[in-house]
Chain A
């Protein structure tokens, strides 16, 4: 069939090969868009912020003058907030995942829960902020405190952790669970001694990635009342607090140019913490994936 039409095939060949090259270039350009802007971001932030970044900057509280201001309150606030988020979201999230994967029978109701947990992961963070304001700030009367902020953020990352933990539990080979049942272990013993230890790398990786998303969140915390400028560190979970993104947001809103550089230095600190958390996640994944 092609033989009769050989000249036509030859003619078109050139344009087909050409089109192939054009498409490759287009896809490559699409890929570079993200990289270029990431590079620009790094360049701007580093050149503007690096001058203000110093040990003093890290250890200082906010101040009325750009060269006296520092990120200390935000840094410690963010770390404490993440600790609260981690404790609540991991305990509730992993328990939910264990129930859904190991105990719940497959029926319409549990399917409904499964689907909605995934939907919940897509709900805008500001909505969680409003939820937190209603429940934790007013109803439970935590006020504008670290606890209210932490619980709100825990709800925000909960669906992500549930889904990650479900996947981690599902990827544990059933052969080793059967070995455990075969020796007379109960379901809970099998989960606690075989399934969970094998799933922990996956759960940890998912948790850290969820937390690194949460550490950059601003919107819900503005609603549940993180302070914009505080001059002491929170001394309990019921104290006022601020976090890095709110501090940075606050500085960028000021008219004098120097504050932009102070904000830039804050972004460097935030990015460094994010990078650190993601590297830990990658390390954990690599360390344990070799074993299984």
Chain B
């Protein structure tokens, strides 16, 4: 109980002061993904225009913008999940650690083990918590029970949900609350040991307390992972991200250090959006 009130308190402070225990990471910036002149079409509708940006390593990059601005599309392009829609066409290039992700030689299955994803709605499999987290390692051929046990425990601990589920590992994940399900999904993504984690509005279906827990978790995860998070919540972007990109109508309007973008936007449209004049 005391834990909950503490989290709630932090959350409340969070709305007043944009930054909560955000670790200052001013290390030399290496980029993990480089996007160059990316265009994307759904059939004949162009959804992304000439996007170029470098995603920094071991930092949190937030993507904000109004609905339909292409931020989710952009995120899904980074691990080629966008191609689930058969009519998608792209031009330009995306390099993940120097590898052209659109190259035929670079398998999208391999890309997705390196660039994992957490979805908007918690989407656990209708299996036990254990089987959910063990799914990824099993897909990649790990069969030994001891190894799987270790991975499951470590992933659940890293996703800060171990204490809540350790006694119900073999119960169906559908029995957990929405917030717990989302953290199990994060644990499931961690279990394949990705390098980059893409998060598509991961808290939009969660209550404020669960949201606070996920936000705290994102702060811890950036020690080891590079995180790109799409959010429609500007306060969230301000709270948890190091860099922020503002998308509008399929274009990247501004991409800067989060503090700079929110306190000193360079583009009039960014300023209008973050001050709530539209969107």
Binding site for B on A (CB under 8 A): 105-106, 173-176, 178-186, 189, 193-194, 197-198, 291-292
CB closest chain-B residue, reference A288: B126
- Contact A179-B109, Cβ < 8 Å, known A193-B139, A194-B125, A291-B172: no
Q: State the Cβ distance, B16 to closest chain A Cβ, in Å.
A: 35
Q: Please report the C-alpha to C-alpha distance between residue A155 and residue B127 in the assembled complex, in whole angstroms.
A: 35
A-B contact count (CB 8 A): 67
A178→B139 contact, CB < 8 A: no
B125→A292 contact, CB < 8 A: no
Chain B contact patch, size range: 20 to 34
A183→B188 contact, CB < 8 A: yes
A183→B112 contact, CB < 8 A: yes
- Contact A178-B84, Cβ < 8 Å, known A183-B188, A184-B113, A184-B192: yes
Q: State the Cβ distance, A173 to closest chain B Cβ, in Å.
A: 8
B119→A291 contact, CB < 8 A: no
- Contact A182-B116, Cβ < 8 Å, known A176-B125, A193-B135, A291-B126: yes
Q: Which of B191-245 contact A (CB under 8 A)?
A: 192
Q: Please report the C-alpha to C-alpha distance between residue A183 and residue B188 in the assembled complex, in whole angstroms.
A: 8
B79→A179 contact, CB < 8 A: no
- Contact A182-B117, Cβ < 8 Å, known A105-B86, A176-B125, A291-B174: yes
Asked if B60 is at the interface (CB within 8 A of a chain A CB), the reply is no
Q: Please report the C-alpha to C-alpha distance between residue A173 and residue B119 in the assembled complex, in whole angstroms.
A: 14
Asked if B81 is at the interface (CB within 8 A of a chain A CB), the reply is yes
Q: State the Cβ distance, B11 to closest chain A Cβ, in Å.
A: 27
Fill in one digit per residue for B116-145: 1 if any A CB lies within 8 Å of its CB, else 0.
110101011110000000011011100000
B110→A183 contact, CB < 8 A: no
Asked if B189 is at the interface (CB within 8 A of a chain A CB), the reply is yes
Q: Please report the C-alpha to C-alpha distance between residue A197 and residue B185 in the assembled complex, in whole angstroms.
A: 19
CB closest chain-A residue, reference B136: A183
B126→A183 contact, CB < 8 A: no
A184→B81 contact, CB < 8 A: no
A184→B126 contact, CB < 8 A: no
- Most A CB contacts (10 A, CB to CB) among B110, B139, B188 go to B139
A183→B139 contact, CB < 8 A: yes
A178: contacting residue among B81, B135, B189, CB under 8 A? B81
A185→B172 contact, CB < 8 A: no
Q: State the Cβ distance, B158 to closest chain A Cβ, in Å.
A: 16
Q: State the Cβ distance, A162 to closest chain B Cβ, in Å.
A: 22
7 examples of A-B residue contacts, CB within 8 angstroms: A178-B123, A179-B119, A183-B135, A184-B110, A184-B139, A185-B136, A198-B126
A182→B119 contact, CB < 8 A: yes
Fill in one digit per residue for B169-181: 1 if any A CB lies within 8 Å of its CB, else 0.
0001010000000
- Most B CB contacts (10 A, CB to CB) among A174, A184, A198 go to A184
- B174: chain A residues within 8 A (beta carbon): 291
